[in-house]
């Protein structure tokens, strides 16, 4: 007779219970509550929350909300340009370090170090760097005779978003760089040696061998970069607060304003924004996954 093995439920619960509880309490519950809030108008009162079901009213208001539309466009621009720039630069730099150019040990540290600075500090520093009067950028431009290019980077309708994109890129590219470098480092040396013996150039080695091998790492990094841009907040909030005139408004900053700054205690409308954006992010991730799947099939 086969002896049935008893599962050690106690131990299982002991180890995964706290994490599960944490996950439910701080991820699942807020997510469900936010979705529900999107269908409500909510006012905290002294005896408790005053709640009124308003159906799709909050979602319909989004269709007419020009600031929300602006925020969506800005965020989508950022989520398209940002990851593309980041992956391009991070891949190039990872390859440089992988091929052990002179001073590669220094570059490994130097290119990762911006990641160690918190977004708030980065925003503050670059607010000074882009100061129209005495900031580093404009001072340098004036010094080299390009004073005509010394514009008000954070004070017009066209450049603030791009400043935010560049600053955030500076802060976060190190993360993608180090992950891609780790992926490259995991490629067996024999692969590189074989390619070399077969007469492959460095370009061929990179484009035909190394990058296809690390494509799963690349795609994961791309996904993380995309997700990061879709919900980035600290840098843009400190740099511009979404201004001027919503020129650098993102969905995250707009949610912040509607939830905590527009003088309303109603969390329903900002929750509706969050729900819609959650769906947009899911759709975006789905499209990236589709693209990744096609590429994997291509390389297989």
The residues of the shown chain that bind other proteins, judged by CB under 8 A, are: 8, 10-11, 14, 43-47, 67, 127, 130-135, 152, 154-157, 243-247, 257-258, 260-265
For residue 231, the minimal CB distance to other proteins (Å) is: 20
For residue 160, the minimal CB distance to other proteins (Å) is: 9
Cis amide prior to 245 (ω within 30 degrees): no
How far is residue 14's CA from residue 276's CA, in Å, rounded to a whole number? 37
User: Counting Cβ atoms within 10 Å, is residue 47 exposed (0-12), middle (13-18) or buried (19+)?
Assistant: exposed
Of 68, 170, 35, 39, nearest to 116 by C-alpha is 170
Give the residue with the Cβ less far from other proteins, 262 or 291. Answer: 262
For residue 37, the minimal CB distance to other proteins (Å) is: 13
Give the residue with the Cβ less far from other proteins, 34 or 264. Answer: 264
CA distances from 285 to 32, 56, 175, 224, 235 (A): 20, 25, 19, 10, 23
Give the residue with the Cβ less far from other proteins, 105 or 261. Answer: 261
Give the residue with the Cβ less far from other proteins, 10 or 102. Answer: 10
DSSP state for residue 54 in the 8-state scheme: -
Of 270, 293, 276, 174, nearest to 230 by C-alpha is 276
For residue 163, the minimal CB distance to other proteins (Å) is: 11
For residue 229, the minimal CB distance to other proteins (Å) is: 24
Give the residue with the Cβ less far from other proteins, 119 or 160. Answer: 160
């Amino acid at each position: 007779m086969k002896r049935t093995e008893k599962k050690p439920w106690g131990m299982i619960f002991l180890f995964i219970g706290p994490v599960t509880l944490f996950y439910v309490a701080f991820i699942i519950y807020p997510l469900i509550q936010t979705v529900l809030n999107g269908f409500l108008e909510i006012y905290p009162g002294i005896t408790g929350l005053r709640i009124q079901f308003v159906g799709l009213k909050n979602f319909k208001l989004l269709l007419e909300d020009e600031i929300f539309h602006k925020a969506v466009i800005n965020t989508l621009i950022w989520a398209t340009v940002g990851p593309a720039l980041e992956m391009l630069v991070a891949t190039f730099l990872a390859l440089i370090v992988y091929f052990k150019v002179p001073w590669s040990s220094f570059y490994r540290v130097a290119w990762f170090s911006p990641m160690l600075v918190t977004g708030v500090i980065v925003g503050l520093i670059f607010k000074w760097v882009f100061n129209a009067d005495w900031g580093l950028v404009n001072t340098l431009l004036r010094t080299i005779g390009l004073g005509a290019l010394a514009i008000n980077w954070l004070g017009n309708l066209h450049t603030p978003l791009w400043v935010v994109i560049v600053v955030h890129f500076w802060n976060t590219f190190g993360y993608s760089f180090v992950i891609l470098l780790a992926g490259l480092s995991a490629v067996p040396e024999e692969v590189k040696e074989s390619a070399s013996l077969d007469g492959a150039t460095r370009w061929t080695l990179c484009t035909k061998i190394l990058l296809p091998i690390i494509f799963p790492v690349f795609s994961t990094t791309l996904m993380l970069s995309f997700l990061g841009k879709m919900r980035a907040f600290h840098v843009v909030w400190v740099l511009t607060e979404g201004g001027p005139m919503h020129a650098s408004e993102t969905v995250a900053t707009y949610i912040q304003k509607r939830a905590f700054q527009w003088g309303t205690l109603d969390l329903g409308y900002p929750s509706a924004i969050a729900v819609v954006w959650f769906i947009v992010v899911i759709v975006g991730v789905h499209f990236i996954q589709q693209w990744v799947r096609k590429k994997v099939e291509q390389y297989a």
